[in-house]
Amino acid sequence: MVEKNLDFRSDTVTRPTPEMRDAMYNAELGDDVYGDDPTVNELERLSAEILGKEAGVFVTSGTQGNACAILALTSRGDEIILERRSHIYNNEVGGLAVMGQLMPRTIIGDEGWMRPEDLRNELRPWNIHYPDTSLVCVENTHNSAGGVPLTASQMKSNWDISKEHELNLHLDGARIFNASVALGVDVKELTQYADTIQFCLSKGLSAPVGSVVVGPKDIVEKARKYRKMLGGGMRQAGVIAAPGIVALKTMIDRLSEDHDNAKLLSDGLEELGFKILFPVRTNMTYIDYSVIGWTAQDFIQNCEKLGWKARARGNSTRLCTHYGIEREDIESFLEGLKKLI
Ligand SMILES: Cc1ncc(COP(=O)(O)O)c(C=O)c1O
């Protein structure tokens, strides 16, 4: 029996499965700062293996993972290239400026993808007036472009240009498994086009805490040191790494259910007159409710009446589907909403 979790706000709200709770209770522990927590070591090894990289480091969050990887790949004053709506640029508290003293240079993407011609244009040749460019960041799935899965060939195009310019490429793969499942490819097909990847265990994969950064051994060891600097050196962290291992072993394939449910939700909301802002590709449905005369408060309150949590701002919102929401929940939500309208 899946524990119900009628909450559209994000896939971060997912709670651990019974198997994860057992794994937490029974986890073999050590002190991870000394490198001897066997459960953390296993999570890091497994993550690197699945994503096709040499090594991994378990971090507290996606934000911390992106920060550690970026700090490991750049030097103070460097320019880094990001997509304009990317999470790193917009939603990580300006960490790249504060901690890395980095200059962001942004590109407006095509559904989250930086077109080769735009990327080439923004990569300036050496000049005494310019900061040095050292890193390109890509996000897959791209959250604020609508949960868009970038294809292997889109990833490759950014990778090839980065390598032509001798730049590293960091992938914010918070939801990289949503991308691989939606595209029907092995995740390595996508991650081969990144030097480092941060992916989240605590989103659609439903583990309670944490992300992993994977990449070349020397870079991961640098990232590990930055994790310590940022206060992320954890001790008996096997307690939270154990559900991460269960997540990787049991929760990837089921992401397709979330994608199907997001599509069902989007089709139903469209029938009810809401405007769908992006075609649904993964587990996110973006809508505009102002077209039926509702405010953000109306939308949130009507969801509450039906037993759902939602968030909304201005004229639009993002609804996330995840573990704890099943097909019949979406169907009864849509029926309830129809009556309220
Ligand atoms: C694309 C993307 N990257 C990174 C993060 C940051 O993850 P966390 O909330 O664990 O810091 C998020 C969080 O929603 C995200 O959507």
Expressed in angstroms, the distance from the first to the final Cα of the chain is 32
Which residues of the chain fall below pLDDT 70?
A: none
Give the closest residue to 176 by CA, choosing from 9, 326, 47. Answer: 47
Q: Is 143 in the pocket of ligand 1 (CB under 6 A)?
A: yes
pTM: 0.98
Say how many Å lie between the CA of residue 174 and the centre of ligand 1: 6
Q: Is 172 in the pocket of ligand 1 (CB under 6 A)?
A: yes
130/161 Cα distance (integer angstroms): 19
Q: Is 174 in the pocket of ligand 1 (CB under 6 A)?
A: yes
23/5 Cα distance (integer angstroms): 21
Q: Is 200 in the pocket of ligand 1 (CB under 6 A)?
A: yes
Task: For ligand 1, pick from 58, 172, 230 the residue to mutate: most ligand atoms within 8 Å of CB.
Answer: 172
Q: Is 139 in the pocket of ligand 1 (CB under 6 A)?
A: yes
Q: Is 87 in the pocket of ligand 1 (CB under 6 A)?
A: yes
Residue type (1 letter), 262: A
Say how many Å lie between the CA of residue 79 and the centre of ligand 1: 22
Dihedral (C-alpha) 200, 318, 142, 196: value to the nearest 10 degrees? -20
Longest CA span, the chain: 65
Q: Is 145 in the pocket of ligand 1 (CB under 6 A)?
A: no
Spatial contact of 74 and 223, defined as CB atoms under 8 Å apart: no
Residue 12 exposure: Cα atoms within 13 Å on the Cβ side = 12
Spatial contact of 138 and 176, defined as CB atoms under 8 Å apart: no
Query: Of all protein residues, whose CA lies closest to atom 7 belonging to ligand 1?
Result: 62
215/137 Cα distance (integer angstroms): 14
144/217 Cα distance (integer angstroms): 31
Q: Both tokens of residue 2? A: 């899946």
Q: Omega of the bond prior to 141 within 30 degrees of 0, cis?
A: yes
Q: Are strands 103-107 and 284-288 parallel, antiparallel or unpaired?
A: unpaired
